[in-house]
Amino acid sequence: VVRTPDGTVHAMIGDVCGHGPDEAALGVELRIAWRALTLAGLCGDELLSTLQQVLEHERQSEEIFATLCTVDIAPDGRRAG
């Protein structure tokens, strides 16, 4: 979870397929990348396509994949996307 200076709360939940230390490390890398990209102001398709690039560069095998869901909640709590 990240709160940006405008007060928006951003959250991400995800999973990398597999059970080994490489997969766990990849999950951490993706979480850190998501946090940095969010704080840098990326969102939507731009954020997700950049995370895809991180995944493709860092994974040990093309069979490794990740699933994730993101949500952004406006400061007034009336909008989420």
Q: Is the pLDDT at 80 greater than 70, yes or no?
A: no
The domain total for the chain is 1
Region 17-45: mean pLDDT is 94
* 78: in domain: no
Identify which of 46, 50, 19 has the alpha carbon closest to the alpha carbon of residue 32: 50
Q: Is the pLDDT at 30 greater than 70, yes or no?
A: yes
CA 56 from chain centre, in angstroms, equals 14
State pLDDT tens for residues 44-63: 899 999 999 999 999 989 99
- Kindly report the backbone phi and psi dihedral angles of residue 61, in degrees, each rounded to the nearest multiple of 5, phi listed first: -145, 150
* 42: in domain: yes
* 60: in domain: yes
Task: Output the 3-class SS for 10-48.
Answer: EEEEEEECCCCHHHHHHHHHHHHHHHHHHHCCCCHHHHH
Q: Is the pLDDT at 27 greater than 90, yes or no?
A: yes
> Both tokens of residue 4?
């940006």
Output the pLDDT for position 78: 77
